[in-house]
Amino acid sequence: MATTQNTTSGSGSPRVAVVTGGSGGIGRVVAERLAADGMHVIIGYAGNAARAEEAVEAITQAGGTAAAVRADVADDDEVTALFDRTEELFGGIDVVVHTAGIMLLSPLAELDLADFDRMHRTNVRGTFVVSREAARRLRRGGALVNFSTSVTKLALPGYTAYAATKGAVDAMTMILAKELRGRDITVNAVAPGPTATPLFLQGKDQTTIDRLAAVPPLERLGRPEDIAETVSFLAGPARWINGQILYANGGAA
């Protein structure tokens, strides 16, 4: 039996989604996809207000509804304010997609601990803070989608510290799904493989890009739209998928 996208809340009004890191890269494409699915979208961003407003404008011009709110995902007060503002604008929250994160690459023996601490603050503490607020605010029938990485399985050299932070995301995701028993809220994580975003492509020569593109049996890099499609599924019709890490990597791992 075919599934259909769930675009309305229990009250019959459009569902409301918060997308952290929604001003660029995969996050922006996710925000645009959820808006196209019929959701009202709040774009959470860290610092680039102009880019966030561009994302809002793109959604609005396509017929959707969106607004931008600044928040440091690792700051408890700012995340609380982000959720408060969402409820003020749209009356509630049904979906939280936490795409915000940073990736600093280095062999373990050469990694500056300051870089490790930066990643830990954003990727681990940030996921904890956003997930905690989502657990407190999401309405029945809601969904939390965190972001992990396929590198936890691919075990690529240079990704040790980054993969370690995402391993923490996996643990939080699987346990929180069980802690929300009885709430009718799903908690999952998407684990992209190599995906053709400006951040991923930056600093890589064509030989490296071609080598990574050849890893999946589908023989290409992922596209942000591939990841957004996966998020759309978890945020809407996928009510029987819960507590899972969903690898969106074309079969690379």
Active site residues: 162
Pairing of strands 186-192, 16-20: unpaired
Pairing of strands 16-20, 245-248: unpaired
- Which one, of 59, 64, 62, 175, lies nearest residue 128 by Cα? 175
221: number of Cβ within 10 Å = 23
| Separation between Cα atoms, residue 59 and residue 228, nearest integer Å | 15
Contacts 24+ apart (CB under 8 A), 49-52: 51/23, 51/24, 52/22, 52/23
> Burial of 61 by CB count in 10 Å (0-12 exposed, 13-18 middle, 19+ buried)?
exposed
What one-character DSSP code corresponds to residue 204?
-
How many helices, marked H, and strands, marked E, lie in the chain?
10, 7
Specify whether the CB–CB gap between 159 and 204 falls below 8 A: no
Specify whether the CB–CB gap between 44 and 21 falls below 8 A: yes
| Separation between Cα atoms, residue 58 and residue 36, nearest integer Å | 11
